[in-house]
């Protein structure tokens, strides 16, 4: 899910970067520091199955989680997982509170100004989910504007829908934004929204666990390649991660994970 931080946090980050500008951290080689500690601190927002979530025993599970654990193992370090709301992740990486983050991040230019992306490890699509009883029709993606739409705040889907609002296609009052995609799905079931726009894979997962819903549109509108997120200018870390991502890709490890977690 490509996400855009919400206004409040953007404002805060702006303020903070102003304040932090005077006391800049020394840009020591991040990769060396991580290897010396033997631990890499990785942020994720564990509310997005099947990419990252907790099982009922509280264990962190999911595609991103397995992938990152394997990547770290090959780099000779262990992962110290930190769960944070999605909105906080980019700010935390930007401020060096985390070594990196993996949370189904899609590339966006806006984000790229604040943090660096690794190479893609997965490609995601957008989907429109409706109740099974949905009687309307959506042939062109823009036709979503004819319905009450729900989306998760700060995602690239949110960005895309906000674009529709700016172009005057979608009335602002028809868009509901949610902290998490599962809240949006609950409101879809309750009939407060008619269409839920989200990443395709989590939508499938929601369909499975909640039932009574169907997907009426799949395509790349706002999402696309998924990347890990690292602080700006951490070239050695990015290079090391890219190496392992390429390795895992050519070994078929990532495809296997996708099958395991997403049934693809």
Partner 1 sequence: LTFIQYIASGTATTIAVTLIALPLGLVLGVLTALLHVYGGKLPARLVYIYSTMMRGVPPIVLLFILYFVMSGAINLSPFLAGSLSLGIISSAYQLEIFRGALQSVSGGQMMAARAIGMSRIKAIRHIVLPQALRLAIPGWSNEAAIVVKDSSLVYALGVTEILRRAQLLSASTQQPFLAYGTAAVIYFLLVFITNRLLDLLERRTRIPANP
Nearer to partner 1, 83 or 119 (CB): 83
Cβ proximity of 206 and 182 under 8 Å: yes
Show contacts with partner 1 in window 40-59 (CB under 8 A): 43, 46-49, 53-58
Burial of 207-235, coded b for 16+ CB within 10 Å and e otherwise, reads beeeeebebbbeeebbbbbbbbbbbeebe
Cβ proximity of 234 and 116 under 8 Å: yes
Choosing from 35, 39, 70, 95, the residue that interacts with partner 1 (CB under 8 A) is 95
Q: Binding to partner 1 by residue 114, rule CB under 8 A?
A: no
Choosing from 72, 77, 92, 213, the residue that interacts with partner 1 (CB under 8 A) is 92
Q: Binding to partner 1 by residue 199, rule CB under 8 A?
A: no
Nearer to partner 1, 10 or 216 (CB): 10
Choosing from 19, 135, 173, 190, the residue that interacts with partner 1 (CB under 8 A) is 19
- Token output for 227: 């990347």
Q: Binding to partner 1 by residue 84, rule CB under 8 A?
A: yes
Show contacts with partner 1 in window 124-183 (CB under 8 A): 180-183
Nearer to partner 1, 32 or 55 (CB): 55
Contacts of 44 (CB under 8 A, 6+ apart): 52, 60, 64, 65, 68, 81, 82, 83, 84, 89, 101, 102, 103
Angle, vertex CA 99, rays to CA 98 and CA 100, nearest 5: 90
Choosing from 97, 114, 177, 232, the residue that interacts with partner 1 (CB under 8 A) is 97
Q: Which stretch binds partner 1 (CB under 8 A): 69-77, 88-96, 139-147, 167-175?
A: 88-96
Return the SS3 of 62: coil
Q: Binding to partner 1 by residue 91, rule CB under 8 A?
A: yes
Beta strands in the chain (DSSP E): 39-44, 47-48, 52-54, 60-61, 78-83, 100-106, 115-123, 126-131, 149-152, 175-178, 195-199, 213-219, 225-231
Cα separation, 94 vs 108, whole angstroms:
15
Q: Binding to partner 1 by residue 190, rule CB under 8 A?
A: no
Choosing from 5, 30, 88, 238, the residue that interacts with partner 1 (CB under 8 A) is 88
Q: Binding to partner 1 by residue 82, rule CB under 8 A?
A: yes
Name the nearest CA neighbour of 225 among 88, 93, 117. Answer: 117
Q: How many residues bind partner 1 (CB under 8 A)?
A: 40
Q: Which residues bind partner 1 (CB under 8 A)?
A: 8-9, 11-13, 15-16, 19-20, 23, 43, 46-49, 53-58, 82-85, 87-88, 91-92, 95, 97, 180-183, 185-186, 206, 209-210
């Amino acid at each position: 899910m490509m996400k855009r931080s919400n206004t409040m946090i953007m404002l805060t980050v702006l303020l903070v970067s102003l304040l932090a500008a005077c006391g800049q951290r020394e840009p020591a080689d991040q990769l060396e520091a991580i290897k010396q500690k033997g631990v890499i601190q990785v942020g994720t927002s564990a509310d997005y199955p099947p990419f990252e979530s907790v099982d009922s025993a509280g264990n962190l599970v999911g595609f991103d989680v397995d992938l990152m654990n394997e990547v770290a193992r090959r780099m000779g370090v262990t992962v110290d997982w930190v769960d944070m709301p999605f909105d906080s992740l980019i700010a935390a990486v930007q401020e060096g509170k985390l070594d990196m983050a993996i949370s189904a991040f899609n590339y966006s230019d806006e984000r790229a100004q604040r943090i660096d992306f690794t190479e893609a490890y997965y490609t995601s699509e957008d989907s429109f989910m409706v109740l099974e009883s949905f009687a309307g029709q959506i042939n062109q993606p823009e036709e979503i504007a004819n319905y009450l739409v729900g989306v998760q705040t700060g995602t690239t889907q949110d960005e895309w829908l906000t674009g529709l609002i700016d172009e005057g296609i979608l009335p602002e009052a028809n868009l509901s934004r949610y902290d998490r995609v599962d809240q949006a799905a609950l409101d879809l079931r309750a009939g407060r929204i008619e269409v839920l726009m989200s990443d395709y894979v989590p939508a499938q997962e929601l369909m499975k666990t909640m039932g009574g819903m169907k997907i009426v549109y799949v395509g790349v509108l706002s999402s696309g390649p998924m990347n890990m997120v690292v602080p700006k200018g951490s070239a050695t870390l990015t290079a090391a991660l890219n190496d392992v991502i390429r390795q895992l890709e050519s070994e078929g490890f990532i495809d296997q994970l996708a099958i395991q977690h997403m049934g693809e």
